């Protein structure tokens, strides 16, 4: 595979891992619901601007509107609100590591999903390792040593669970152009978030330049541009290779959290991260196919 494609994969991974760092910046001035709405709304706007500039069809996809709204709820509204909500009580490093549970949740949800993919033994081992890794990650918090609230840390796992549901719903949206799907679903996601956000937090007040910059980056760059780039990249490298982003994204979230935000990670938490990555290897499966295990 050409080096430029690997470079794009690393850039996407670093970008998505950094989103938890930008959440921390935004939470200094905005409420968590406005962080979510700002990201989803700007992400939708970026996709619409791209579609207009490239002459794509702007009409509503001819699919079940209920499925599309459900996808918007679980892909955007819920998880992108859960992370800033819980990041008020956990570190950005911990949030980035928990996000790596997404493939594990996809396997778990798919196993019980109607006509979903049944989990193989290696994938079930991967799921078990994932939850073991989360337990290790949370251990210092339960012992009163970490900066993350243990309850909030556990609740954060519901965000990858939402992604697991969304990716199973995606099977019913295969006929939809991915950029169009992102634009419409993010729009529906923003529409669902707005009344809740306004009722809870009212209108926001932004006075800092860094808040505007973080909002523009997390919305236009890390949501709309990143998804457009991913959809362009997948046909060229394959979905399996693109999935390596999941392995790499937590690295940037940890580095930014520790070296920029002065967050502390305990040795046991690095062990937990390693156990989660081991689980991802079992779920990925390529390593075991070499030995004839499936």
Give pLDDT tens digits for 46-83. Answer: 999 999 999 988 998 888 899 999 999 999 999 999 99
Q: Is 89 a member of any domain?
A: yes
Whether 140 shows a pLDDT value over 80: the answer reads: no
Tens of pLDDT, residue by residue over 186-210, are 999 999 999 999 999 999 999 999 9
| 160 and 153 Cβ atoms separated by less than 8 Å | no
Distance CA(159)–CA(74), nearest Å, equals: 8
Q: How many CB atoms within 10 Å of residue 227?
A: 22
Place of tokens 């808040």: 211
Q: Is 38 a member of any domain?
A: yes
Q: Is 170 a member of any domain?
A: yes
* Percentage of the chain modeled with pLDDT above 90: 42
Buried (b) or exposed (e) across 253-278, using 16+ Cβ within 10 A? bbbbbeeeeebebbebbeebbebbbb
166-171: average pLDDT: 87
Q: Is 219 a member of any domain?
A: yes
Q: In Å, what is the CA distance from 108 to each residue of 103, 113, 119, 167, 287?
A: 9, 9, 8, 12, 20
Q: In Å, what is the CA distance from 99 to each residue of 54, 147, 230, 273, 286?
A: 32, 18, 18, 11, 21
Place of tokens 């932004």: 206
18: CB partners within 8 A, 6+ apart: 222, 252, 253, 256
Instruction: Count how many domains the chain has.
Output: 1
Pair of tokens at residue 38: 């700002």
268-285: average pLDDT: 80
Instruction: Give burial (CB, 10 Å; 0-12/13-18/19+) of 4.
Output: exposed
Whole-model pTM? Answer: 0.86
Crossing angle (nearest 10°) for helices 102-112 and 121-142: 130
Nearest C-alpha neighbor of 35 from the set 82, 72, 100: 82
| 46 and 225 Cβ atoms separated by less than 8 Å | yes
Distance CA(76)–CA(224), nearest Å, equals: 12
According to the model, what pLDDT value does residue 118 have? 79
Q: Is 294 a member of any domain?
A: no
Is the pLDDT higher at 90 or at 247? 90
Distance CA(146)–CA(162), nearest Å, equals: 26
Q: In Å, what is the CA distance from 59 to each residue of 48, 139, 151, 183?
A: 11, 49, 43, 11
Is the pLDDT higher at 18 or at 287? 18
According to the model, what pLDDT value does residue 285 have? 67
| 100 and 246 Cβ atoms separated by less than 8 Å | yes
SS3 state at 41: helix
Domain span at residue 123? 3-289
According to the model, what pLDDT value does residue 294 have? 53
141: CB partners within 8 A, 6+ apart: 90, 148, 149, 150, 153
């Amino acid at each position: 595979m050409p080096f430029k494609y690997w470079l794009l994969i690393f850039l996407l991974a670093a970008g998505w891992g950094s989103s938890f760092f930008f959440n921390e910046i935004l939470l200094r001035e905005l409420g968590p619901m406005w962080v979510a709405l700002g990201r989803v709304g700007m992400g939708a706007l970026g996709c619409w601007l791209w579609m207009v500039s490239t002459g794509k069809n702007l009409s509503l996809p001819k699919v079940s509107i209920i499925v599309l709204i459900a996808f918007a709820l679980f892909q955007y509204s819920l998880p992108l609100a859960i992370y800033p909500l819980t990041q008020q009580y956990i570190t950005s490093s911990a949030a980035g590591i928990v996000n790596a549970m997404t493939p594990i949740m996809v396997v778990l949800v798919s196993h019980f999903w109607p006509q979903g993919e049944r989990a193989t033994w290696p994938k079930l081992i991967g799921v078990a390792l994932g939850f073991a890794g989360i337990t290790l990650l949370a251990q210092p918090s339960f012992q009163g040593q970490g900066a993350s609230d243990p309850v909030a840390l556990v609740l954060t796992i519901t965000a990858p669970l939402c992604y697991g549901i969304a990716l199973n719903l995606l099977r019913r949206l295969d006929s939809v152009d991915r950029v169009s799907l992102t634009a419409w679903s993010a729009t529906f996601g923003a529409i669902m978030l707005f009344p809740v956000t306004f009722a809870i937090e009212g209108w926001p007040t932004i006075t800092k330049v860094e808040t505007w910059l973080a909002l523009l980056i997390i919305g236009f760059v890390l949501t709309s541009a990143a998804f457009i780039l991913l959809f362009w990249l997948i046909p060229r490298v394959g979905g399996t290779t693109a999935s390596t982003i999941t392995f790499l994204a937590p690295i940037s979230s940890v580095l930014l959290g520790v070296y920029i935000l002065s967050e502390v990670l305990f040795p046991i938490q690095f062990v937990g991260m390693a156990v989660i990555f081991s689980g991802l290897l079992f779920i990925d499966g390529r390593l075991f196919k070499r030995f004839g295990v499936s």
